[in-house]
Amino acid sequence: MGGVTSSIAAKFAFFPPTPPSYTLIADDTRGGQLYIPEVPRRDNVNVDVLKLRNRKGNDIVAIHVKNHKASATLLYSHGNAADLGQMFELFVELSIRLRVNLMGYDYSGYGQSTGKPSECNTYADIAAAYTCLKEQYGVKDEQLILYGQSVGSGPTVDLASRISNLRGVVLHSPILSGLRVLYPVKRTYWFDIFKNIDKIGMVNCPVLVIHGTADEVVDCSHGKQLWELSKEKYEPLWLSGGGHSNLELYPEFIRHLKKFVQAIGKSKSTTNSSKKTAAESDTQSKPSETGTSDKFELGSDVPEVSRNSLDSRLEKSRKSTKPEKSRMSTDRVDRFRRRKGLVW
């Protein structure tokens, strides 16, 4: 049964860029330190390129961007048609703008990571990144923010549901589950993947949801329902007219993210320094409006952050007219993918 589920998962969810957008080179002048030649080096940015071994035996490529002003670390799980070469400059900009250390990683079978993409492997991949942050960088759970974009919300919610003291979670264009992207099913089937709808209630930290109202790949209703099901809801951001892969271009995006990072930092600081109740801490965690105008723009030399692949538009199927399906073979999934050009 597990093999069938993994097969369905691969057909649904994984579209690694082919060929990968980057290579890895060992710099012999720096003791064999890895670097990515396809991305520009910045003298004032401290980036480690790492290879991590996950519990499945796959070598996972990760990058760690250090910000000397950081008081938190963000672990970013990217979308399903991107890799680190395409995400690199975005990660650097987020680290600078949010004043966080940031780790991003490629799933098994993505970029220069070994193995094959599967739901189970993504859970092993994020676990390897999490372990590295704790053991190599000394990150504590209360300093860690998990960030999941699109299909990356799957490993993000799964890990967050098993850690009790995270600082926060950000869900960016998240999915309720894999099958629910295709059909408006009312219950969870055994062959479904990334069952965020069943796990989000076990996340015990503030949850920020960001979703575009014009998302034609993953309907905004996914984000709204996950927010409703969250225990500790933070003010969501519904970006009017936003699509699936362009939310970073909206000024409200980085402004709201900064507000969230600052708010949960204040809340955690207050919790550690006093014995106030949870309700009082929640009240104190709400920041005042600063009125600053943050426009998040990537430079002209920045890769498209997988927008060409991620934003291949899924012509909206009229889900309300589709009956609930009790079973779906992998052949039918193949036909659906070819017909719809599904990417999420």
Q: What is the pLDDT of residues 75-133, one digit of tens each?
A: 999 999 999 999 999 999 999 999 999 999 999 999 999 999 999 999 999 999 999 99
Residue 147 tokens, joined: 């960030």
Q: pLDDT category, 29, cuts 50, 70, 90? A: confident
Q: Catalytic one among 215, 245, 285, 306?
A: 215
Give the domain range for residue 56: 2-340
> What pLDDT is attached to residue 193?
93
Q: How far apart are CA 203 and CA 161, in angstroms?
A: 5
- Report which of residues 8 and 178 the model is more confident about: 178
> What pLDDT is attached to residue 255?
97
- Report which of residues 228 and 29 the model is more confident about: 228
In sequence order, what are the beta bridge partners of 171? 148, 209
CA of residue 188 relative to chain centroid, distance:
22
Q: What is the pLDDT of residues 197-215, one digit of tens each?
A: 999 999 999 999 999 999 9
Is 331 in the active site? no
Is 282 in the active site? no
**Which has the minimum average pLDDT: 180-184, 250-254, 257-261, 298-302?**
298-302
> What pLDDT is attached to residue 279?
42
In sequence order, what are the beta bridge partners of 238? 211
> Identity (one letter) of the amino acid at 115?
G
Query: Mean per-residue pLDDT for 214-237?
Result: 97
Query: Mean per-residue pLDDT for 207-225?
Result: 97
Is 150 in the active site? yes
> What pLDDT is attached to residue 269?
64
CA of residue 283 relative to chain centroid, distance:
27
Q: What is the pLDDT of residues 253-299, one digit of tens each?
A: 999 999 999 999 987 666 555 544 444 444 444 443 444 445 555 54
> What pLDDT is attached to residue 43?
78
CB count in 10 Å sphere of residue 259: 22
Q: What is the pLDDT of residues 305-321, one digit of tens each?
A: 443 333 333 333 333 33
Q: How far apart are CA 262 and CA 268, in angstroms?
A: 10
Query: Cα torsion for 90, 93, 97, 99, to the nearest 10°?
Result: 100
> What pLDDT is attached to residue 267?
74
What is the chain's mean pLDDT, rounded?
A: 83
Q: Which phi and psi (to 5°) does residue 193 adopt? A: -130, 160
> Identity (one letter) of the amino acid at 145?
I
Q: Catalytic one among 106, 244, 267, 306?
A: 244
Query: Mean per-residue pLDDT for 174-181?
Result: 94
Q: pLDDT category, 5, cuts 50, 70, 90? A: low
Q: By three-state DSSP, how is residue 17 classified?
A: coil
What is the CATH number for 210?
3.40.50.1820
Q: Catalytic one among 150, 177, 230, 306?
A: 150
Q: What is the number of domains present in the chain?
A: 1
Whether the predicted pLDDT of 140 surpasses 50: yes
